[in-house]
Amino acid sequence: MIIEGSLQASLLRSVLISLFTWRRAETDDPFDDAERFGWWGDTYPAQANDRIGSRLWLLRRVRLTAQTQRDAEFYAREALGWLVDDGQVKHINILTEQVQSNRLNLGVELVVSDGQIVRFNPSEQWQVIYAV
């Protein structure tokens, strides 16, 4: 639940946890070894198939291509989708920009119920620099 007066802080925490907690890889996802990772709390979800985090971690060792950029957008949207489903925001925009051959910047715009747009532009330590 978002507490009035702290909308931006609550949304920032929600975005950080959703994007940077490692969601368990799907069985058909390509990953380095047998470890599919994932947050331990997803073992016993309060609601069936309710999972926390994103699969952005799967991109840490892939070449940065147009497909990688699309995957990053998809994983981010998937991770933040609960904000729309739970009625916390009306709409989510995922912004990506390739700034170097090995760097993809990721930003998030959340449209809240009154039409206000809350933007998060991750600082350098947030951004995906793993792509080769």
Closest CA to 42 of 30, 53, 34, 31: 53
Helices (H) and strands (E) in the chain, counts: 2, 3
Establish how many alpha carbons lie within 13 A of residue 93's alpha carbon, considering only the half-sphere containing its beta carbon: 11
pLDDT tens per residue, range 36-59: 777 777 777 677 777 888 988 888
pLDDT at 132 over 60: no
- The pLDDT mean for the chain works out to 83
Question: The pTM is what?
Answer: 0.82
- Exposure class string for 6-31: b at 16+ Cβ within 10 A, else e: ebeebbeebbeebbebbbbbeeeeee
Distance from chain centroid for Cα 1? 19
CATH numbers and ranges of domains, the chain: 7-126 (3.10.450)
